[in-house]
Amino acid sequence: MARNVFLTGASSGIGRAATELLAERGFDVWATARDPARLPSHARVHPLALDLEDRASIDAAWRQAVAEAGHLDILVQNAGAGIFGAIEDVAPEEAARQWQILVAGPMQLLRLAAAHMRPRRAGTIIGVSSLAAEMPLPFAAHYSAGKAALSALLGGLEMELKPFSVRVVDLRPGDIRTAFNERIIPAHPTDSPYAPWTAAAWRETNALMDGAPGPDLAARAILDVIERPRALARCGTFFQARLGALGVRLLSRARLLDSIRRYYHLDRVDREARP
């Protein structure tokens, strides 16, 4: 089995859990983070500095990993970031930064991986997107849009690389209990006309995160798609990953969005604070 992995966002959450699991299973992992000092310490973990907002940093980390490994068999594009707030309330510069981290930076890595794996006619590219790609999250439209764009890129790349025997996987986790919410950029001022709804959605977002499965679930899903690659995989609670996906297929767009609003209890706010 191919054993050289390049994995982004490895200092915490899903990326750290996946790095530790893969290293324990005998993979050599070139793990990246903006601060490599925060990466797991393991004989099979090779720390690299990488910042998805810095194109030169992305190229340099990839080149260093290839030089050290000889070749890379697997890319796991996991790093991400989030903004929480209404589209009106999110500053354009923060929206642009979100797009760079969720789409433009990962796209650069997808290009590097494709150019590296295609001539060898071997490799697996895994993009950790989100169930938000198919079920938009309230007041996280920029995050949902970025993950949907990443999913579209992965789908296009899967079709392009199929003749070259390079597998591309879109892995969509649901809520996973990590410190991700603690790093989300808040964009919901108290004087916003959306304030009652953003407050309710934020409370429910944190409650769902507190009750969500831990990052080991997503790490095991990454290992599973390495061992059994397929174009699309989901992981999370039964309700989100199974029933939610069924709702996407069966419900109209309007009914799906209404059901998501109810899931976050926004219908209650409608009755109490309708403008």
263 is catalytic: no
Backbone angles phi, psi at 148, to 5 degrees: -65, -40
Backbone angles phi, psi at 154, to 5 degrees: -65, -40
Residue with tokens 């309230």: 138
Give how far Cα 59 sits from Cα of 6, 54, 64, 112, 249, Å.
13, 9, 9, 8, 39
Give how far Cα 113 sits from Cα of 65, 123, 151, 191, Å.
12, 9, 16, 45
Q: Pairing mode, if any, of strands 45-49 and 74-77?
A: unpaired
Set 143, 194, 263, 264: catalytic member = 143
Q: What one-letter code names the amino acid at 181?
A: N
Enumerate the H helices of the chain as residue ranges.
13-24, 55-69, 92-99, 105-117, 141-161, 180-183, 195-210, 215-227, 245-250, 253-263, 266-273
Catalytic site residues? 143
